[in-house]
């Protein structure tokens, strides 16, 4: 991923690429020794419930008041869950009714990993934002990003588009079809208005060539004159 971002940011056709995803977010990994918990008679569910309700938040129930539904979440005071060593002060009840220190059943170590990982098309995905350089069209930018992705990403990685880029990829080629359809419609309208095939073809060609010659106003007058001559 870092190689892809480096290539995209150094490409002259692209104005930069970035992502909110980070692979090295500091984390704490809590490993529960299930064998020790079983020997001590402590259910695994009780261990996780004690960890979540003390170090995080634990859902209790809901209640209705003032026309709204409120959640009851249980957590310890901040001063009792500021450091990883605070887990040594936690106890959990065994099946015999004895209080077992949680530090004897779990171990805490520092690690790093992604904070969150979204899914796109039912696959783990990373969202990347970017823009093209000044003077570069969006179509050229899309083609350049796809070329960089094929060169840099491993074979088991795939990529896809979202938002306006997806709509542009999906509608590629539709503009040519719309232009051809518009030309046919103009020809049919002129064919219905003028009865001479020679006149309507000349008018049609003149209308197509008028924008480049900057004489759009002379087209309708020429066709009108020819049609009026034929009617006499």
User: Domain limits of the chain?
Assistant: 2-23+118-170, 28-113, 174-231
Kindly report the pTM of this predicted structure.
0.51
CATH class for the region spanning 28-113? alpha beta
Q: Which CATH number fits domain 2-23+118-170: 3.40.718.10, 3.40.50.10490, 3.30.1360.10, 3.30.70.1440?
A: 3.30.70.1440
For residue 199, what pLDDT is reported? 52
In degrees and rounded to multiples of 5, residue 196 shows phi and psi of -90, 125
Q: Is 15 left (phi over 0), alpha (psi -120 to 50) or beta?
A: alpha
Report d(CA 202, CA 212) in Å as an integer: 16
Give the pLDDT band (50/70/90) at residue 68. Answer: very high
Q: Is the pLDDT of residue 63 over 90?
A: yes
In degrees and rounded to multiples of 5, residue 46 shows phi and psi of -70, -35
Rounded to an integer, the average pLDDT of 159-180 is 74
Report d(CA 40, CA 46) in Å as an integer: 12
Q: Is the pLDDT of residue 55 over 90?
A: no
What is the overall mean pLDDT for the chain? 78
For residue 166, what pLDDT is reported? 75
User: Do 33 and 44 contact (CB within 8 A), yes or no?
Assistant: no
> Could you tell me which residue, 176 or 63, shows the higher pLDDT?
63
> Could you tell me which residue, 166 or 13, shows the higher pLDDT?
13
For residue 123, what pLDDT is reported? 84
For residue 210, what pLDDT is reported? 46
For residue 195, what pLDDT is reported? 63
Rounded to an integer, the average pLDDT of 109-137 is 85
For residue 15, what pLDDT is reported? 87
For residue 175, what pLDDT is reported? 64
For residue 222, what pLDDT is reported? 36
Report d(CA 77, CA 70) in Å as an integer: 20
Mind listing the pLDDT tens digit for each residue in 172-230?
656 677 777 887 887 777 777 766 555 555 555 555 544 444 333 434 433 333 333 33
For residue 20, what pLDDT is reported? 85
Mind listing the pLDDT tens digit for each residue in 13-52?
888 888 888 888 888 888 888 898 888 898 888 888 888 8
User: Do 118 and 141 contact (CB within 8 A), yes or no?
Assistant: no
């Amino acid at each position: 991923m870092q190689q892809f971002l480096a290539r995209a940011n150094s490409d002259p056709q692209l104005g930069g690429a970035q992502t909110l995803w980070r692979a090295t977010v500091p984390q704490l990994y809590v490993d529960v020794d299930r064998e020790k918990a079983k020997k001590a008679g402590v259910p695994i569910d009780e261990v996780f419930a004690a960890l979540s309700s003390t170090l995080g938040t634990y859902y209790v129930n809901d209640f209705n008041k003032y026309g709204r539904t409120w959640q009851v979440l249980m957590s310890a005071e901040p001063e009792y869950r500021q450091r990883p060593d605070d887990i040594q002060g936690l106890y959990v009840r065994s099946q015999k009714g004895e209080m077992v220190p949680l530090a004897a059943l779990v171990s805490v170590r520092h690690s790093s990993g992604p904070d969150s990982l979204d899914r796109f098309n039912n696959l783990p995905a990373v969202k990347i934002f970017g823009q093209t350089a000044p003077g570069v069209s969006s179509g050229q930018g899309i083609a350049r990003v796809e070329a960089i992705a094929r060169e840099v990403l491993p074979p088991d990685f795939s990529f896809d588009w979202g938002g306006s880029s997806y709509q542009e990829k999906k509608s590629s080629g539709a503009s040519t079809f719309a232009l051809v359809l518009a030309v046919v419609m103009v020809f049919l309208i002129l064919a219905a208005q003028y009865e001479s095939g020679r006149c309507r073809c000349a008018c049609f060609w003149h209308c197509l060539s008028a924008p480049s010659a900057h004489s759009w106003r002379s087209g309708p007058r020429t066709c009108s004159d020819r049609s009026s001559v034929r009617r006499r």
